Amino acid sequence: MSELPERSRILVTGATGYIGGRLARQLLASGHPVRAMARDVRRMSALQDAGAQCVEGDMLNAASLTSAVEGIDVAYYLVHSMGGGADFEARDRQAARNFSAAGRIAGVKRIIYLGGLGQSGPGLSKHLASRQEVGDVLREEGIPVTELRAAIIVGAGSASFEIIRDLAKRLRVMICPRWVRSRCEPIAIHHVIAYLIGVLRVPESIGQVLDIGGGEVLTYEELLKQCAEVMGKGIFVIRVPVLTPRLSSYWLNLVTSVPIAVARPLVEGLRNDVVTTDRRIRDWIPLDRVTFRESVAIAFTEESAGPLPSRWTSAALATADRYAVGDDVLRDERVRASTAPSDALFRAVERIGGNTGWYYGNGLWRLRGMLDRIFGGVGLRRGRRHPEQVVPGDIVDFWRVEDYVPGKRLRLRAEMKIPGVAVLEFEVSERPGGGSSLRQSALFVPVNPWGRMYWEAMRPLHAFIFRGMADGIVRAAEAGRDDPDSLTTSTA
């Protein structure tokens, strides 16, 4: 086993994602120089503070990759189109092709890629087949690729784990299709990171496809039952012969925190056994065995300890459309004067969503989230990363932080199902005579005539909600309350 050359330069792509965010932090903690890449550099402020060089790059924009890979020795490829829509396979191919071509030109010496387990063949799900195809595409330019293939990753913030956790937590009886008898070899997140970093120092791993797993093979039914037992609960599973992946994903969308766009490719892969067959990596990188129960307990401890370093919601859904907010948008604006100082007013703004709620009509917000779930949207269950702090890219219920200027501006972009693009913006400023001012703007860009009809139909309700929300934020700031539960006011 050889040491990684001291001056090797490492690129972590997908640095705002669940795996990328954790990997970059662990590499930095181990003393490695790290360049972190994502589509929006503002969302990597925490990594920048930790010592990473942060750069912007979009895998589907080949020109944007040139500077990102320049001078890099080893690149981690941790990007895929989970929830990317019907054409996700073509996008994944193009992204891998763009990156490997840019890497070859820049002289990248090695790519390390995290893919998915599963036996190749006509029975493999489209999602898993695409993950394996990406590895082949990355190898086309001749750069040595180390491909690690994993099944379910168990850890706080993992989409797969949150599905299992939510089902085990909320249901006592489950009607499940035959896929609950499929076999799976889960792996703890800290073992995934250990393998990703460990192969840097294992020359035998260069150019190899390696299976990684926790060593314990269970059915999905057993995963659900063991997770419930860790929580001190019980669950009874009834297997039925007919329940298609599409119906299963709709059901998971309603019951768990994971939206249908993410749940569907995961469910489609459940019909495949995902078990390691090549175990060479266990000899090269020996790790203490961790059972599934132990991994679940560790995940619950991490969830209760505070904000997670990364979560599946950290990366925006690939299907999110991008529209500029122009001067002709439909809008609802509210301006409020407050006797509270501007920093107190902005703190109230920063707490919005999650456990704090929306300061007015919380029952109506919950109803809107439930309807969004029914129609396949993300709903309100995603919550917040931190009860008071936000950074660009953070999730706030069914919104995402698009822009954040501390003490001055918070802009949220909607990710719920709507016929257009919605933005909710809060701006706080000081008043010349003392106190502060809040400008709250709800902006909507319709994508078709239905979008305009939607806005007009919702205008009376929006006026009711947004007026109460602006008043509620000011009241909370002036009251100076620190208890989030006392900041909410509900009319429904």
List per-residue pLDDT tens for the chain, 492 residues long: 344 455 579 999 999 889 999 999 999 998 899 999 998 887 788 898 899 999 999 998 999 999 999 999 999 999 987 655 557 788 899 999 999 999 999 999 999 999 988 887 777 888 888 889 999 999 999 999 999 999 999 998 888 888 888 888 877 777 777 777 889 999 999 999 999 999 999 999 999 999 999 999 999 889 989 999 999 988 887 777 665 656 666 666 666 666 666 666 667 667 788 899 999 999 999 999 999 999 999 999 988 887 778 877 666 543 334 444 444 578 899 999 999 999 999 999 999 999 899 999 999 998 988 888 877 777 887 888 888 888 888 889 989 888 888 999 999 998 888 888 899 999 999 998 889 999 999 999 887 778 888 888 998 999 999 999 999 999 999 997 444 443 443 333
Q: How far apart are CA 113 and CA 98, in angstroms?
A: 15
**Residue 318: per-residue pLDDT:** 39
pLDDT at residue number 349:
96
For 10-158+179-216+271-310, the fitting CATH number among 3.30.310.50, 3.40.640.10, 3.40.1190.10, 3.40.50.720 is: 3.40.50.720
pLDDT, position 120: 78
* Residue 127 confidence (pLDDT): 81
What CATH number does domain 330-487 carry, 3.30.750.80, 3.30.530.20, 3.40.50.1220, 3.30.565.10?
A: 3.30.530.20
Distance of alpha carbon 204 from alpha carbon 217, whole angstroms: 26
Q: What is the pLDDT of residue 259?
A: 65
pLDDT at 426: 95
**Strand bridging mode 399-405 / 409-414:** antiparallel
Cβ–Cβ < 8 Å for 72, 9 = yes
Q: Phi-psi bin for 40: left (phi > 0), alpha (psi -120 to 50), beta?
A: beta
pLDDT recorded at residue 6:
55
pLDDT, residue 265, reads 67
Question: Between β-strands 395-396 and 145-150, what pairing exists: parallel, antiparallel or unpaired?
Answer: unpaired
Give the chain as a 3 state SS string.
Answer: CCCCCCCCCEEECCCCCHHHHHHHHHHHHCCCCEEEEECCHHHHHHHHHCCCEEEECCCCCHHHHHHHHCCCCEEEECCCCCCCCCCHHHHHHHHHHHHHHHHHHHCCCEEEEEEECCCCCCCCCHHHHHHHHHHHHHHHHCCCEEEEEECCEECCCCHHHHHHHHHHHHCCEEEECHHHHCEECCEEHHHHHHHHHHHHHCHHHCCCEEECCCCCCEEHHHHHHHHHHHCCCCCEEEECCCCCHHHHHHHHHHHCCCCHHHHHHHHHHHHCCECCCCCHHHHHCCCCCCCHHHHHHHHHHHHHHCCCCCCHHHCCCCCCCCCCCCCCCEEEEEEEEECCCHHHHHHHHHCCECCCECCCCHHHHHHHHHHHHHCCCCCCCCCECCCCCCCCCCEECCEEEEEEECCCEEEEEECCCCCEEEEEEEEEEECCCCCEEEEEEEEEEECCHHHHHHHHHHHHHHHHHHHHHHHHHHHHHHHCCCCHHHHCCCCC
**Beta bridge partners of residue 145, listed in sequence order:** 111
Integer Cα distance of 75 and 100 in angstroms: 10
Residues 440, 470: contact at Cβ < 8 Å? yes
Mean pLDDT (the chain) is 84
Amino acid identity of 182? S
Predicted confidence at residue 243, as pLDDT, reads 58
Range(s) within the chain of domains with CATH label 3.30.530.20: 330-487
Q: How long a stretch of residues is the chain?
A: 492
Query: What whole-number distance in Å separates Cα of residue 12 and Cα of residue 52?
Result: 10
Q: Are strands 53-56 and 74-77 parallel, antiparallel or unpaired?
A: unpaired
- Which residues lie across from 444 on neighbouring strands? 330, 422
Residues of CATH 3.40.50.720 domain(s) within the chain? 10-158+179-216+271-310
Residue 118 token pair: 């599963």
Read off the pLDDT of residues 233-274 as tens digits, 9 standing for 90 and up.
888 877 776 656 566 666 666 666 666 666 666 676 677 888
User: According to the model, what pLDDT value does residue 484 have?
Assistant: 40
Q: How confident is the model at residue 245, as a pLDDT?
A: 59
pTM over cut 0.75: no
Residue 325: the pLDDT is 41
Query: Do the bridges between strand 436-446 and strand 420-430 make them parallel or antiparallel, or are there none, so unpaired?
Result: antiparallel
Name residue 48's amino acid: Q
